[in-house]
Chain A
């Protein structure tokens, strides 16, 4: 069974998925951060592939990408860092990135490498649905990889149905019309959207991301979905202090039941 499915079977609610950029703050931090997240209680891990032109990202993730590239991060480098991933990390790991570096690496070669090091899924936000179905779906399936699609408050009902059909693992619910990290807190408008999706009876599990940063926003999101995704806030944390201790404290703080 794909580790993503296993994670949702093992834990029924409040799953925490944490995003961080490969090669940030230091080139060789990638695996250590994954280990610390696994040990610290994250339920899923999303490793970001840095790109020179991250149009969907706000300043925090942009800057982490620029830094990671300056540190010398490449896909070859990443796969060599993740060579022993599965000796250390049990939770599902997804790679998230823009499509161009993946195409340059070679889509099939990329998927083969992912399978080899024990990656469970991909999030490629600028890969269109049509091209996915026509060109890439079979390749992903061949290597047992799940492809996660995004929906936003502007995504039409009809399109949500289609995305639900195509998605595997979970659906990534972008919490508001924004780039990553842009907004803080959760508005009543967003709650309406969460509620609407919650009652839509989708086939897939749902994780809410963008603007989730702490125990309060995590708990709020978990009222309407199976869990939530933290990105920019975690990048800021590891930029200050990427020790396992600090990461564990943060994860525990985010996940603790609201008092």
Chain B
């Protein structure tokens, strides 16, 4: 992790522009404060860096390739590279963050790890590193998601994690997050909470973005090797909470000539009431400890989002992305279920890569942004489609 300074990153108060902060009840304050005080020091220590680099290389399989997608390039009329996060161990970028946080949990002397998960990718990535380190692991997952994502539930159990159903509220990702926070309130001393995206109270969004920043750190030197320059014209990434996008943008934030394209899930369409496109439908609000953009009613109750992709099915985005949207630094694009599924099949046929449905949203957005023949485009392919086989089968149009 090389140090980056940018006006788009967190300030000393824990804010990205006017978004972020730590809106937490006093019961969570000591845990979050312990983390806030220590994360930079721990992450900056030579021992931590050595362990992190070693695990990313030999356990996760980094660096992930930057692959020139020739047939995809012809189709969209630009020079398109895929950053192959789908080749990470466990099948998605999520593990970059869990490797970092498990080392942090160890450095803090924590005996147990908790996490929330929606699709199960972050849950699996967390259960994986807990198994690796021999640390107890409890994963909260919405009861509805547990039924939709059965194989991932079993993967977590095989890895030795306890999967606890979140039965409150809408029984999906935001409720799993609520339950994880409640667990943390009730077990303040011995537990570390591994949040799975750039959401939550400061320092989580900053910490998770730092762990994921390895993605753009690699893109820079890989592109230099292939194109003779570090900066592409566009970087595309899907945004649920925003961790893979934060990682893919991180080293390009101040290179204003690089267009940062953030792809949100529009579900059945933004005006159908079945969407998860936060920047299109949300307003400023506070959820899970940070001030950010949030889908909510006029009365400030959080709205249940919808997307075919469980990983994008979250009613907010991280403060990092709220700031990119608010400042105009990022270009936000919505992609519907149908467009994403078509793009998933297209990538499979053109390049022999079946993407995660989340990542298929990013691919689809290639058709929504004006690209020139000479443009160099990087799409962050955040995950592979194995976990989504059931979704592809139900979709059926291939």
Interface residues of A (CB under 8 A from B): 51-59, 62, 66, 69, 74-76, 98-105, 125-128, 130-131, 149-152, 154-156, 159, 174, 177-179, 182
Contacts and interface: CB of A to CB of B under 8 A. Distances in A.
Interface in B271-317: 283-289, 294, 296, 298-302
Interface in B23-38: 23-27, 29-30
A131 B20 CA distance: 12
B167 to A, nearest CB: 9
B285 A100 contact: yes
Contact of A125 (B26, B175, B287): B26
B236 to A, nearest CB: 31
Nearest to A172: B26
B185 interface: yes
A230 to B, nearest CB: 18
B299 A104 contact: yes
Contacts of A55: 25, 178, 181-182, 185, 288
A46 B101 CA distance: 39
B27 A53 contact: no
Contacts of B289: 126
Contacts of B168: 59, 62, 66
10 contacts: A57-B182, A103-B286, A104-B298, A128-B21, A131-B21, A149-B26, A152-B26, A152-B27, A177-B186, A177-B188
A54 B181 CA distance: 10
A145 B288 CA distance: 26
Contacts of A156: 30
Contacts of A62: 168-169
A159 B32 CA distance: 14
Contacts of A53: 169, 174-175, 178, 287-288, 302
B186 A182 contact: yes
B397 interface: no
Interface of B: 13, 21-27, 29-30, 168-169, 174-175, 178, 181-182, 185-189, 283-289, 294, 296, 298-302
A74 B299 CA distance: 6
A177 B284 CA distance: 30
A128 B24 contact: yes
* Most A Cβ at <10 Å: residue of B13, B27, B182, B185: B27
Please give me the 3 A-B residue pairs with the lowest Cβ-Cβ distance, nearest first: A101-B300, A104-B300, A125-B25
Contacts, number: 112
Nearest to A97: B300
Given A53-B174, A56-B185, A69-B301, A155 B286 contact: no
Nearest to B27: A152
Contacts of B185: 55-56, 177-179
Contacts of B175: 53
Contact of B26 (A74, A103, A174): A174
Nearest to A127: B23
Contacts of A99: 23, 286
Contacts of B296: 100, 104
Contacts of B29: 152, 154-155, 159
Contacts of A102: 300
B181 A151 contact: no
A180 B284 CA distance: 28
Contact of A104 (B181, B187, B285, B288): B285
Contact of B13 (A104, A130, A155, A178): A130
A186 to B, nearest CB: 17
B22 A128 contact: yes
A150 B27 contact: yes
Contacts of A52: 169, 301-302
A27 to B, nearest CB: 14
A104 B23 CA distance: 15
Contacts of B182: 55-58, 179
B241 to A, nearest CB: 15
A66 B287 CA distance: 17
